[in-house]
Amino acid sequence: MESHKEVQHYDPIEKKLLHSQIHKAQKFIDNNCLEKLGDRVYICKPLPGYNKTKYTIEKKDEIWICNCQGFKAHCNCSHVQAILIKEGGLHQ
């Protein structure tokens, strides 16, 4: 019998990442985790039962910069996404 070779499925990591980020970002918004400290500073409080770290996100030269691991690795993270959604800069 001919074995059916599975068609390789292209699921770019970036796209996956973005999807999970937006999903998580929405959770931060739904749980009111974002707290605006100033025009250019937000803190993101931990999601109950999800993590325990509070992150600070600052706007520098029109770019939001977060101090979490994800941002360091990808220059993008769910916290930044959450702010973008909240501020209306990212339309879904």
Q: What is the dihedral of CA 43, 49, 50, 52, to 10 degrees?
A: 50
Q: Which is nearer to Zn ion, 9 or 60 (CB)?
A: 60
66 binds Zn ion (CB under 5 A): yes
85 binds Zn ion (CB under 5 A): no
Q: Least distance in Å: CB of 80 to Zn ion?
A: 6
The Cα 64–Cα 16 span in angstroms is 21
Only one of the segments 5-13, 20-28, 30-38, 69-77 lies at the binding site for Zn ion (rule: CB under 5 A); that segment is 69-77
The 8-class DSSP code of residue 90 comes to S
The answer to whether 71 contacts Zn ion (rule: CB under 5 A) is yes
